[in-house]
Structure 1
């Protein structure tokens, strides 16, 4: 049965995070700078409204220090003690170049990635908040960022420029880039049915499986785009699951079920779904019929991108060509799998939530595998994943 957690916020909840460790705490952030910490029973542990009252857009618990909760609001990050919400323990002012959309911590809690409206990803040292890397290649808002488990120097980013990028922190340029619009065009997605609106695959949320090799990206075309990373961090294969009838806003791998390839998704169609991807061709390619993506000359995709983007993209393109363009080669050689239609059953669990999904947070609450849903309202809803 679904449970409502209410009275923690007065505004629409935008983000949710869960702590790791023996005592499970949940944090939620909402419009106007509100932050609430909950017990796993749904009782309120504490509440605070951050100075400036800018929207709390991302909340992340430190995996190594349970007394640290990182909250993005405006272009700043506040570090809070979730058990004592009297005020920030530490403040990272101007952590982002513009308004921050997403935060991610590496497994040791020593590096904080910040994705913002400028398209930049900054990597900050923790503690202290010193900027040690600025990664610029997105030509539009960077909406989501995640570190790869077991690989502290690798992170992935996704943005409204419809691009997914894998970065090695030793360099300031991506190891590879996958343009989701190029993928859609190759699949002939734009031959839509009469009366069907075509939504471009703006990338909203990126998640990495606990093994570190499978990426899932929720996009505005209703799909979750899947990518497999092979040896040498190359993009080995990509495909998609048609997950939602409208834009997919959230996709998160679940690390507490029977294997690493369970994925929970949410969308603008007000649906929440749980998927078993263990047999998807991108995850388990052996014995599956695969279609190799045509080898595309980089110049062609550049020409397409130039038509869509702003003037600064042209200079980026010229810079790419000067630098040799090996990142496009890494993505261009990946095998493409046509959309998985082999699993007739679709999602293993489908929930009609009744409102657009702002955020999903998988969590084990009182021993029960669950998903916490934030929507346009000021309440959270908890569903069992069973």
Structure 2
């Protein structure tokens, strides 16, 4: 049963974050510089409007504890005390070269990554806010960044240039880059004639709690999946067709039965929960390839042609049945028609129960239970 958390904001909510502390505080940021702190029951603990009233584009609790909340507005990152919302404890002005879109903290909260409209990713030392790395490779807006768990020097960034990049912070060039446009073109043979797809502009990236899977929500409605192997190499990539319009959000859920549960949201006003544990990118061993094996070219002897045709028909039938079964198995385990475009998703445990908090075009938050089938 969905619940509404209201009266925390007067404008559209753009971002949400959950703290790892025992009190389980939550924070939301909205247009016009509004920041609100919530309790586990949806009660409002504190509210603040930051000077300048610029949109709050990202909020993030420190993984090291709930005493620090990082919020981005304009080109500035402000550090707040969520239990004492009187104003910024510290401001990192000019943290972004242009307006900041996303923040990420490593597990020790010693490094803060800042992605901005210029396509630049800056890594700041915490505390202090000194810039220790400037990563310039994106040719358009950098929309999202995430550190890899268990790899504090590995950072992934995605952007509206359709690029996904994995960085080792010892260097200022990426370890590898994948262009989602190229991946989409490889998959175009599956397209029906006359069917058009939006370009795969990358909106949001998430890393599984085990650190080896990336999920990237893109404008083509897909969530692109990448598996990272030893030596931080890209081992395999693929995708799920998650939404009928652009996918705006994708977040791995760390508190369910395994690390490969993913919650997604899109411009089609739907929210979905996926079990990716059997997806070929996650678990390649023992899975059936989705494409038919290539047959050897060459002349077929005339006397075998009839036999071959019937054999091919039988193979095609088996293949169709297998792909229909696979589609059914690979669909979402939970699908929610939310009724409004999704701005942000935040998977969270509330009073011991798994939930997802949805921010949309409104000034309210909606809480849905993530009941596992």
- TM-score, normalised to structure 1, is 0.86
Partner in structure 1 of residue 142 of structure 2 = 142
Is structure 2 residue 342 aligned with structure 1 residue 357? yes
Query: Which residue does 2:306 correspond to in 1?
Result: none
Q: SS of 1:344's equivalent?
A: helix
With over 3 angstroms needed to count, the CA separation of the structure-2 counterparts of 1:92 and 1:190, relative to structure 1, is farther
Match of 1:249 in 2: 248
**Matched residue of 1:372: which SS?**
strand
- Aligned 8 A contact 1:190 1:198 in 2: no
Q: 1:302 is matched with which residue?
A: none
2:153 is equivalent to residue 168 of structure 1: no
Contact preservation (8 Å) 2:263, 2:272: yes
Match of 2:61 in 1: 61
Deviations, residues 325-361 of structure 1 (Å, cap 9, x unaligned): xxxxxxxxxxxxxx99724141000000000000000
Aligned CA RMSD, in angstroms, stands at 1.5
- Separation (CA, whole Å) in 2 of partners of 1:145 and 1:57: 13
Shift of 1:66: 1.5
Structure-1 residue corresponding to 2:355: 370
Matched, 1:124 2:124: yes
Write out aligned runs for 1:330-345 (5 A): 342-345=326-329
**Maintained 8 Å contact 1:117/1:140:** yes
Structure 2, gaps ≥5 residues long? 292-322
Indicate if the aligned counterparts of 1:184 and 1:190 stay in contact, CA closer than 8 A. Answer: no
Secondary structure (helix, strand or coil) at the match of 2:188 reads coil
Deviation string 1:67-113 (CA, Å, 9 cap, x unpaired) is 10000000000000001100000000000000000000000011000
Q: 1:358 aligns to what SS in structure 2?
A: strand
Is 1:7–1:379's contact at 8 Å kept on the other side of the alignment? yes
Secondary structure (helix, strand or coil) at the match of 1:187 reads helix
1:13 aligns with 2:13: yes
The alignment status of 1:266 with 2:265, answered yes or no, reads yes
Which ranges of structure 1 fall in alignment gaps of 5 or more residues?
293-338
Q: CA deviation at 1:65?
A: 2.9
2:15 and 2:28 in contact (8 A); partners too? yes
Match of 1:332 in 2: none
| SS of the residue 2:326 aligns to | coil
Question: TM-score if structure 2 supplies the norm length?
Answer: 0.89
Moved beyond 3 Å, runs of 4+: 189-194, 289-292
Secondary structure at the counterpart of residue 342 of structure 1: helix
Preserved contact between residue 65 and residue 109 of structure 1 (Cα < 8 Å)? no
